[in-house]
Chains A and B, each alone.
Chain A
């Protein structure tokens, strides 16, 4: 009898797992991928859309073009997961039974949770990035404030990268001297990782980007144009860019599979749900204390795929587990970048920013479509 492997979410993680499991198990299982839109979006590109360096169409492809012929794509949205009955209910009312389930539904942003923050700009959705780009194009002078309104959020380097790319953008328009750029950090340094902070802080100072530490955005007054922190400080702005609070998807909350923010508890090595058998989760959707990023989903996907393939074949789980590996780039402006590589046991030591890493990032972004979703990298 053939097994049913069901994958929820056609982002980087879900797509890799669908392709790798299908390749590994062949006819032993039907692999079905459920995605709400049927369009694969390369989210790291939003940052570049915001500063006018990337077109939205370059960041979107039909999911069907990225999966093996043997993987069945269902364009629908999961609304309820019943792990005891091993079935998932979709928005259209269809019920899908599974033998093995992978949840790769990612996270969602919740700017409305910030009092007064609904009108703030962000670069965490395509619409947000396009709206921010229009606002920046009209901006000629004043103070641009970048703040963080909730932890965890996707792509920890993003606020720092945005500050650097914004600085480049304002210089290219010859209005930098009329603009102030302020970066409000939740910690008493620029970035979560201390060694990387030590590397980027002098560059922030050199570019005239003002850093304020221990500023966790709590509320916004859009009339007075001020932003106030949990720590009790208030800063004025002319244009406010917020990293929105993030939470798990509604289906996780509705199915009571996650914690109070909808993050799914999984074993940090095997990626199996801590409570239910036959359920794995990867990427942003989990509660693992590690970055929410495409890189994490990418590395986790190969592990989850091997676990699921072994379960389908009735074999023992693979010995190789997820070790917390993360590798991402951090743009530092002026055509340079550095990298951040680490795992659960080894903190990162970022190399000095250089043009090499900037071009490596650009190359990765372009080659993504032909390498990552297929599990080739």
Chain B
């Protein structure tokens, strides 16, 4: 179980790709450095899209966890 303090949780379950990633980008755009965002996504595309964007944008992918029918991504705004 993660002990990271979540700043904002984005429940994007049921949204088709790229909705979950777009919601994360929007949250990071309006967030502060150090904020931690949690994205819940049931879309298979998120498993490649979200880590790829986080790497490109030089933020930190704290954790990816498989849950029952969805994945949980935890991302820290690093800059």
Contacts and interface: CB of A to CB of B under 8 A. Distances in A.
A151 B19 CA distance: 10
A214 B53 contact: yes
What is the interface of chain A mostly: helix, strand, loop, or mixed?
loop
Contact of B49 (A187, A230, A344): A187
B57 A231 contact: yes
Nearest to B30: A260
B18 A192 contact: yes
B58 A289 contact: no
B19 A186 contact: no
Given A187-B18, A192-B18, A216 B56 contact: no
Interface string B32-74: 0000000000000100010011001110000000000000000
A289 B28 CA distance: 18
B49 A232 contact: no
B16 interface: yes
B16 A347 contact: yes
Given A151-B22, A152-B22, A216-B25, A232 B17 contact: no
Contact of B25 (A186, A192, A289): A186
Given A186-B25, A194-B45, A214-B53, A231 B58 contact: yes
Nearest to A213: B56
B52 to A, nearest CB: 6
Interface in A38-93: none
B29 A218 contact: yes
A365 interface: no
Interface residues of B, number: 20
Interface string A220-237: 000000000011100000
Nearest to B16: A347
Contacts of A218: 29
A188 B53 contact: yes
B19 A232 contact: no
A194 B53 contact: no
A230 B45 contact: no
B28 to A, nearest CB: 7
A289 B15 contact: yes
Nearest to A324: B16
A199 B49 CA distance: 19
Interface of B: 12, 15-19, 21-22, 25-26, 28-29, 45, 49, 52-53, 56-58, 79
8 contacts: A150-B26, A194-B17, A216-B25, A230-B29, A231-B57, A232-B57, A232-B58, A344-B16
Given A188-B49, A231-B53, A289-B19, 12 more contacts: A150-B26, A186-B22, A187-B18, A188-B56, A192-B22, A194-B17, A194-B45, A214-B52, A214-B57, A231-B58, A232-B58, A289-B15
Interface of A: 150-152, 186-188, 192, 194, 214, 216, 218, 230-232, 289, 344, 347
